[in-house]
Amino acid sequence: MVKKENMDKETIATNKAPAAVGPYSQAVRIGKLIFTAGQVALVPGTGKLRTGGIIEQTQQVMMNLEAVLKAAGSNLDQAIKSTVFLQDMADFAAMNGEYAKAFSSDPPARSTVEVSKLPLGALVEIELVAHIPGD
């Protein structure tokens, strides 16, 4: 027997991650899937990018994503797919080292692309699709 899941769309918001600065949500839940907006290294409550380079920015992005997923009833362990946007592909190795710390086992599928610019001059932006565990 297939259990029918609630497929209503729900927007997710938390003050533990940067607020949306435009007409978008931090994340959207539909059924047991969470689709996050891309997160840059904004420090929650300040509206400012975290100081430092690609390592510090990647750390902040992962903290922001974790906060959004927790608000939706999920976590980084439930990530299925990520997309990483880098302002400079030369930062790939350093970003990848920090990213790997967040996904030490069973990492999600991933695409990484270089883009010409990111919001607010950020060096990295990451979006995730994750699952909500449980019945």
31-49 pLDDT, tens digit each? 999 999 999 999 999 989 9
pLDDT at 51: 95
pLDDT at 37: 97
Tell me: pLDDT of 1 over 60.
no
Query: Residue 10's closest CA among 65, 68, 75?
Result: 68
Q: Identify the residue with better confidence: 5 or 95.
A: 95
pLDDT in tens, 52-101: 999 999 999 999 999 999 999 999 999 999 999 999 999 999 999 999 99
pLDDT at 96: 97
Tell me: pLDDT of 6 over 90.
no
Q: Which class for 83: exposed (0-12), middle (13-18), buried (19 or more C-beta within 10 A)? A: middle
Average pLDDT over residues 106-113: 97
Flag the least confident range among 1-5, 50-54, 83-87, 102-106.
1-5
| DSSP annotation of 119 | G
Strand order in the sheet with 109-114: 9-12, 27-30, 33-36, 124-131, 79-86, 109-114
pTM of full prediction above 0.85: yes
Query: Residue 113's closest CA among 96, 89, 131?
Result: 89
